[in-house]
Amino acid sequence: ISTIISSSSSSEITNSTNLPQAIIIGVKKCGTRALLKFLSIHPAIAASSTEIHFFDSPKNFQLGLDWYRNQMPIVKNNQYLTIEKTPHYFIDRQTPARIFHLLPEVKLILILRDPIIRAISDYVQIKSRHEFYPTFDEFISMKNFTRWTPIKIGCYVIYLRRWLKYFPLERIHFVDGENLIQRPWQELEYVQQFLNISNHIQQEHFYFNSNKRGFPCVKQPNGCLGTSKGRQHPLISEKTREILKNLYSTCNQQFKQLAQINFSWL
């Protein structure tokens, strides 16, 4: 055994994991998986393969920080930046304070999409698990539709305010999820800048896959996301679209001001 150990490099034989230096905190259905997959192209990044749900789950949280560290990916070669993503963190009331107290230096990444598309995506995911389910238009025509979670999440400003009680704006990087689909390398360039790592991820790492509804994939084996990502969306009526446009216009406006960003769809 000692021969095997001495003949391999130390990085190959360690089983060490690190607490994350950056966390993708959300938003659910905005491209969180794609973002993490694309980031893992970078040789410095060790990305968790599953959602950890440490800060938002009472059961996991009471297991403590050592448990959390053990859930992180094993650090290989020169990987010095560990990242996890749990999209539910963004809307969870307890999470901002918990992260602040346990990881006060951590960098936060938030990916966003047009909330109307996000709501449809959320709806499609729920529908895929229920055989008989109302149409999206039917949901929006119901009296209390604004209380329906797929609709509520899209008013991003409500949740951002909670995070800003603990973290300064400079500690949160906003990714345009619409642009991540069109020009992933551009969004990745901004993220790499924010993380203070080399600009390694480039346009030539990607191709657009017509079998995957034109979504970008990485030029590597299993470089596309699985079948649960990039699902077909139903058409929605003009009336539904108008209702949602009106509903989200104030939220979007306030979010834009608070986050100091200017995404084209906001």
Name which of 25 and 30 has its Cβ closer to ligand A3P.
Answer: 30
Distance from C-alpha of 165 to C-alpha of 94, rounded to nearest angstrom:
12
224 and 217 Cβ atoms separated by less than 8 Å = yes
Smallest separation, CB 244 to ligand A3P (Å)? 16
Q: At its nearest, how many Å lie between ligand A3P and the CB of residue 11?
A: 30
Taking the least distance from each CB to ligand A3P, the nearer of 68 and 136 is 136
Residue 232 marked in a binding site: yes
CB of 150 to ligand A3P, least distance (A): 11
Tell me whether residue 194 or residue 215 sits nearer to ligand A3P (CB atom): 215
Q: What distances in angstroms separate CA 261 from CA 29, 63, 113, 254, one per listed residue? A: 20, 37, 13, 11
Site residues for ligand A3P per CB under 6 A: 28-34, 87, 121, 124, 180-181, 215-216, 225, 229-231
Contacts of residue 187, Cβ cutoff 8 Å, sequence gap at least 6? 35, 175, 176, 179, 180
Choose between 31 and 73: whose C-beta lies nearer to ligand A3P.
31
CA 13 – CA 203 distance, rounded (Å): 33
**Residue 241 assigned to a binding site:** no
Does 33 show up as a binding residue in the annotation? yes
- Of 29, 37, 85, 107, which residue is the catalytic one? 29
> Phi and psi of 153, rounded to 5°?
-60, -30
Does 230 count as an annotated binding residue?
yes
Please give the Cα distance from 70 to 66 (Å, whole number): 6
- The answer to whether 29 is a known catalytic residue is yes
* Residue 141 CB, nearest approach to ligand A3P (Å): 22
In sequence order, the 6+-apart residues with CB closer than 8 A to the CB of 221 are none
How many angstroms separate the CA atoms of 31 and 180, rounded? 8
Does 229 belong to an annotated binding site? yes
The residues carrying an active-site annotation are 29
Residues tagged in the binding site annotation for 3'-phosphoadenylyl sulfate:
29-33, 113, 121, 229-233
